[in-house]
C-alpha cells in the first residue's frame, strides 16, 4: 500500500492505495467520479482521458502513484457549477454525441487540443489530433463540428477576460 495525495478538480484528496491502482480506478472506485470511463482498457480508445497538470492523458495507462502530488481535472471538474464548459456546451448544441460513452474522454482531449492550437484550429487538425479517441456511433462528423465551434467560443471567452 502507498499513501498518496493529489488534487482532483481543485480539492486535495488522499488515500492509501494498492501500488497497482490505476488513476482511472482511483477516480472511479475510490472517489466515485464515474464520469471518466473505461472503454478498451488498452490505451487505444481515449474514454479515460483526464488532465494531469494540464495535459490530457489516458488514466487507464497511468498508475495513481505516478501522479502523486499532481493536479488532476476530470470531466466533473470542467464546468463552473451549472454553467457548462464551452466545449461541453458545443457538444450539446452540435449533437456531438450519441450513446455518450466516449464523450468525457472526447471532451477532455478536445479541450487540450484547443488549448494547444488556440484559434489556428482547422478540421484536418482536429481529426488528426483526435486520433487517440475512438467513437463508435457518430462517425466523428458532429464531434469535429463541436470542437471547432468550441474553439471559437473558447477564444472569444478568453478575449473577454
User: Judged by CB under 8 A, does residue 94 bind other proteins?
Assistant: no
From the number of C-beta atoms within 10 Å of its C-beta (0-12, 13-18, 19+), residue 26 rates as buried
Pairing of strands 71-73, 2-8: parallel
**Which of 9, 34, 68, 101 contacts other proteins by CB under 8 A?**
68
Should residue 32 be labelled a site residue for other proteins when binding is judged by CB under 8 A?
Answer: no
Taking CB under 8 A as the criterion, the residue among 13, 31, 38, 63 binding other proteins is 63
Non-local (6+) Cβ contacts of 33 within 8 A are 8, 9, 27, 74, 76
The residue written with cell numbers 462517425 in the block is 139
Q: Is 15 helix (H, G, I), strand (E, B) or coil?
A: strand
Question: Which positions from 102 through 141 interact with other proteins, judged by CB under 8 A?
Answer: 109, 112-113, 129, 131-133
2, 9, 98, 115: which one binds other proteins (CB under 8 A): 2
Binding site for other proteins (CB under 8 A): 2, 18-20, 22, 41-43, 46, 49, 55-58, 61-63, 65-66, 68, 109, 112-113, 129, 131-133
Amino acid at each position: 500500500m502507498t499513501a498518496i495525495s493529489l488534487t482532483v478538480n481543485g480539492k486535495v484528496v488522499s488515500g492509501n492505495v494498492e501500488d497497482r491502482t490505476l488513476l482511472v480506478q482511483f477516480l472511479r472506485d475510490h472517489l466515485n467520479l464515474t464520469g471518466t470511463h473505461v472503454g478498451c482498457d488498452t490505451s487505444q480508445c481515449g474514454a479515460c482521458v483526464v488532465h494531469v497538470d494540464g495535459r490530457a492523458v489516458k488514466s487507464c495507462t497511468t498508475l495513481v502513484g505516478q501522479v502523486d502530488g499532481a493536479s488532476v481535472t476530470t470531466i466533473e471538474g470542467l464546468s463552473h457549477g451549472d454553467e457548462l464548459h464551452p466545449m461541453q456546451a458545443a457538444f450539446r448544441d452540435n449533437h456531438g454525441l450519441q450513446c455518450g460513452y466516449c464523450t468525457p474522454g472526447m471532451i477532455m482531449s478536445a479541450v487540450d487540443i484547443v488549448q494547444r492550437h488556440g484559434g489556428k484550429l482547422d478540421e484536418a487538425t482536429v481529426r488528426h489530433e483526435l486520433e487517440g479517441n475512438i467513437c463508435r456511433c457518430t462517425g466523428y462528423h458532429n464531434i469535429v463540428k463541436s470542437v471547432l465551434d468550441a474553439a471559437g467560443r473558447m477564444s472569444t471567452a478568453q478575449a473577454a477576460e
